[in-house]
Amino acid sequence: MVQIKYDGWEKILQIQVAYTGEPFVDFITQRIIMKRTVPKQVYIGFTGATGGAQESHRVVNWNFTSSELPEKSLKTAMGLCKREILLVIVLPVLFGLLILTAGMIPFAVRAFRKNKERKQRHMEIENLSQNAANAPNVFKYRTLSKATKNFSKSNLLGIGGFGSVYKGQLSDPTKTIAVKKVSATSTQG
């Protein structure tokens, strides 16, 4: 004997088998949403095949009942509809992220202010050292490159452990300068 049951509320398909007079034994118990696998209208019947051998198959008794379930029972496999998933999972996650972000704002503002203050102190020190009487002149790379004709070999004065020294000519005011271009591959210093 075979007994097939489907619980539309719990979404459980259960198939049990037994010999005549014996108790049923679970053969398959599976969670399945029939709405996804079985069309709305179906035919129920029996078929059998034995290949080349002859057998006698008999349906001694059968009972099929079906009832329309309320829409509420036709939920997803987790047992939640889309609106409930949104309310139960997505909104708390978004709310948690919002709280976390709001909690991080004071730390970000404090770090931004410290960084700004550090840069401002550094600029003040730079200005003080550049304006001192014995401070060295500060040039942009572009100015030094132009003065040495793009560090041409014709202006090369010598090569040392830290890099090459070039002769340069500044135009405003007119000055002859020596420019050391530090080598990236230097092993000294």
Binding residues for ATP: 181
Asked whether the beta carbons of 168 and 179 are under 8 A apart, the reply is yes
Alpha-carbon distance 50 to 63, whole Å?
25
Which amino acid, one-letter code, is at 125?
I
Instruction: Give the containing element (helix H, strand E) for 5.
Output: strand 2-7
Query: Binding-site residues, please?
Result: 181
Q: Where would I find the beta strands (DSSP E) of 69-182?
A: 156-159, 163-171, 174-182
Instruction: Give the containing element (helix H, strand E) for 27.
Output: strand 25-31
What does DSSP say about strands 163-171 and 174-182: parallel, antiparallel, or unpaired?
Answer: antiparallel
- The torsion region of residue 92 among left (phi > 0), alpha (psi -120 to 50) and beta comes to alpha
84: nearest Cα among 94, 96, 72: 72
Asked whether the CA dihedral 71, 72, 77, 83 is positive or negative, the reply is positive
